[in-house]
Chains A and B, each alone.
Chain A
Amino acid sequence: MMKRLAYFLPLVLLAILAAYFSAGLGRDPQTLDSVLINKKVPEFSLPPIRGFNAGLSNNDFLNKVVLVNIFGSWCVSCRIEHPFLMELKKKGVIPIYGINWREQNQDDGPRWLKKFGNPYSLIGDDPKSRGAIAFGVTGAPETFLVDQRGIVRLKHMGPITQQNWNDTLKPAIDKLKNR
């Protein structure tokens, strides 16, 4: 009898696995996450990067829909994402705040922006990950969408591309702006 039952074991394991899969299907490991979603931007204050006047703090999030983009000159994917951010700036779609994360050298970030262009209206320097920890960043690039009341509405992991811009970010921004 026990032996007969053992032959049912694979079926049981498959059922458990399938249950997890069907539960996992509704979720997108890329966007749904962060404990911050639908909560206020955490308190933080970052100094400006070298050669810039203004830093970035939670007081800068008022009365406008903005993107917060975590970047670093060391991050290859940020380099890939960068032209798209430049295009957003050129078209004036939405202001973008930058958090320059974990630069080894104070000059690396400014040099990178000088070379490729600066899409950010405000930038905070974050060598010790204080801002990144406040936002619960898992890697770079990562982008948060914050609404007029300073509430985090969306988190996007990885580079923004035309496709995921059209699919998720753009509709979310339009919805917030039209409120």
Chain B
Amino acid sequence: MIIESGHFVLILSLLMAFLQSTVPMIGVHLRNNQLMAIAAPAAIIQFVLILGSFLALTYAYVVSDFSVINVTSNSHTAKPLLYKVSGVWGNHEGSMLLWALILSGYGAAIALFGGNLTPTLKVRVLGVQAMLGVGILAFILFTSNPFLRVFPAPENGSGLNPLLQDPGLAFHPPLLYLGYVGLSLTFSFAVAALIEGRVDAAWARWVRPWTLAAWGFLTGGIVLGSWWAYYELGWGGWWFWDPVENASFMPWLAATALLHSSIVSEKRDSLKSWTIFLAIVAFGLSLLGTFLVRSGVITSVHAFASDPTRGVFILLLLVVTIGGAFLLFAWRGPSLKTDGIFHPVSREGGLILNNFILTIAAASILLGTLYPLFVDVLELGKVSVGAPYFESVFVPMMIPMIVVMGIAPFLRWKRGDFNKTTNKLKVVGVISLIGGCFVWLIVDRSSALSSLGIALSIWLFSATFVELTSRIKLFQVPLKDSMRSIIRQPRASWGMTFAHMGLAIAVAGITASSTWKVESIQVMKFGDQVKVAGYTYTLKEVRKVQGPNYIATRGIFSVKKGDNFNVTLKPEKREYQTRTMVTTEAAIYSTFFGDLYAVVGDRDENSGGYITRIYFNPLVPWMWAGAILMVLGAAISLTDRRHRVGAPARNANIGTSQVIVK
């Protein structure tokens, strides 16, 4: 009964979304307040209905109702409760339902918290958001219904992929979707503004917090997925340039660009059509990701069971939404007036350069990801594009970007003083050069690019730090005054400081872990010792351990360095009984300078020893720490009152000491 109710309310939500996307839009056109007033309650009701449907499916998973096909093929009674619940979105149908839930959730959030929007804009945003809802809900109901029954009901389910039975991966999709789908809202804002024919500073100010939230979630989701790959796949790698990883990275790059261009639109009333364009593109890339994963046009380790009907539907959705938006953009875009005039050396100039690089980077990743498809369709054979392409294209583009990231925050709007800025950054530049040379001469003579990576990391970190100190006038005014002004710094500037420093730390981690990884593969018997990166690993024993639904082979390593360092690592190899499948559970011990990483493999029949893989992954914890700082930056910036307070004055010339009135 609960299942049928879940199905039923899902149908109702589609009708509600249809109502929300049509009647209020007609209302705006006719200037009819009664019709317009439907939008907000409809958005909330739509959300509640989808939530009900989602809970019904979750219920089926929790009680293991195997008469539901979706539960049968993705769950099992032997699974721990957490993974029964995460099984709801661990498959195509359920994950689309989560998509729809989040989509309507953002709509409901606008209905509830969008009080300071102009009434017509609010109604139009909700209308566009509901149009997306109609598309996605129809997709679920017509091609991917999670509520279908099977008769007779099987005894037990066929289990969730044991690789996915992991806390990191249980929360990876919801976070990622909060990011992906969060971009739907900026898309709706962009389309609503195009319909309205007006984009002003107030519009940009409303869009910014939503972009920021989506960006933060997307960052968190990508990093969680990467972290999972790092400890679960057992190769010590964390990014593989797989099409599906790229599918999440491209919207991230576009969202990062959007985040910055919307600042220019807000503060300087400039770059407006570009910001609109980016908002459309960012969501378009999100939809593209969904299409790639679910249509089977590209081979990927992540791909869901592919189904051409679904592919056709999503492609249609993509073409109608993004094509429609671009058509509107072609029609209305040219009339968006831009009045902010500025010198190339200015904060606008820096932000535009950043946008340019991010966009080109996203485009080249798109090209690399789709290239195999292009070649295939043109009957030129089968190719695959791997990490070498992406690295050789992406890395060089990041070099100028990070250099500019150090400089641009110092520049003033409209016209920056280049000489004054370079004076401030002289010391930082020298320190970075020394750091880079040190790495090149002392650590590793073979990789100039990696030395450059470290130098850039130092550059960005210290430049961001100097920018902070110059904002609070450290050492220029009495320390007490500096401390007072540190408290008065707007939260949004703190967000920038945190995010940029986070990136600097992550760059160091990425550079070091991809260049100076130490790897050792060998057969070890009990008592054997291996020395990796100065640490001595002794294999103490290997024993069988019974888990809830698997049997594990657990290796016990004692790791020593000098007299003071002594830790035990316990990697496992798990064999799941419900599916004949084996997973590796790497044992990781993080130190400040890197991760000790051990994996235990099969027994070697000849020698009676075990195959072990031991890695030293330098600075990997820095990468995670940097990413956390970036997400934290977004969160801090979101708490800034200015993001929530209504229509702003054009405060282009906010001085550093301006106090935000509470």
Bind each other:
yes
Residue B295 at the A interface, CB < 8 A?
yes
Within 8 A of A (CB), among B273-306: 273, 277, 280-281, 284, 291, 295-299, 305-306
Number of residues of chain A lying within 8 A (CB) of chain B = 30
A3–B330 alpha-carbon span in the complex (Å): 10
Residues of B within 8 A of A21 (CB): 291, 295, 297, 315, 318, 373
Q: Which 5 A-B pairs have the closest CB atoms?
A: A24-B297, A11-B326, A23-B377, A7-B330, A29-B299
Residues of B within 8 A of A15 (CB): 323
Residue B329 at the A interface, CB < 8 A?
yes
* Contact digits for A3-40, partner B, Cβ 8 Å, 1 yes 0 no: 11001101100110110111111111110010000000
Known: A7-B334, A18-B315, A25-B312. Contact between A83 and B580, CB under 8 A? yes
Within 8 A of B (CB), among A151-175: 157, 163
A17–B582 alpha-carbon span in the complex (Å): 39
Residues of A within 8 A of B305 (CB): 163
A21–B317 alpha-carbon span in the complex (Å): 13
A171–B330 alpha-carbon span in the complex (Å): 49
A26–B374 alpha-carbon span in the complex (Å): 13
Residues of B within 8 A of A20 (CB): 370, 373-374, 377
Residue B327 at the A interface, CB < 8 A?
yes
Number of residues of chain B lying within 8 A (CB) of chain A = 39
Residues of A within 8 A of B377 (CB): 20, 23-24, 27
Residue A79 at the B interface, CB < 8 A?
yes
Of the candidates A8, A18, A22, A163, the one whose C-beta lies within 8 Å of that of B330 is: A8
* Contact digits for B158-170, partner A, Cβ 8 Å, 1 yes 0 no: 0000000000000
A7–B281 alpha-carbon span in the complex (Å): 13
A163–B579 alpha-carbon span in the complex (Å): 13
A30–B277 alpha-carbon span in the complex (Å): 35
CB pair B319–A14 under 8 Å, yes or no, is yes
5 contacts across the A-B interface (CB closer than 8 A): A24-B373, A25-B312, A29-B376, A83-B580, A111-B605
CB pair A28–B330 under 8 Å, yes or no, is no
Within 8 A of A (CB), among B350-374: 370, 372-374
CB pair A80–B315 under 8 Å, yes or no, is no
CB pair B376–A24 under 8 Å, yes or no, is yes
CB pair A14–B326 under 8 Å, yes or no, is yes
A15–B312 alpha-carbon span in the complex (Å): 15
Nearest CB of chain B from residue A82's CB, rounded to whole Å:
9
Nearest CB of chain A from residue B610's CB, rounded to whole Å:
14
CB pair A25–B315 under 8 Å, yes or no, is yes
CB pair B605–A11 under 8 Å, yes or no, is no
CB pair A11–B297 under 8 Å, yes or no, is no
Nearest CB of chain B from residue A152's CB, rounded to whole Å:
16
CB pair A18–B318 under 8 Å, yes or no, is yes
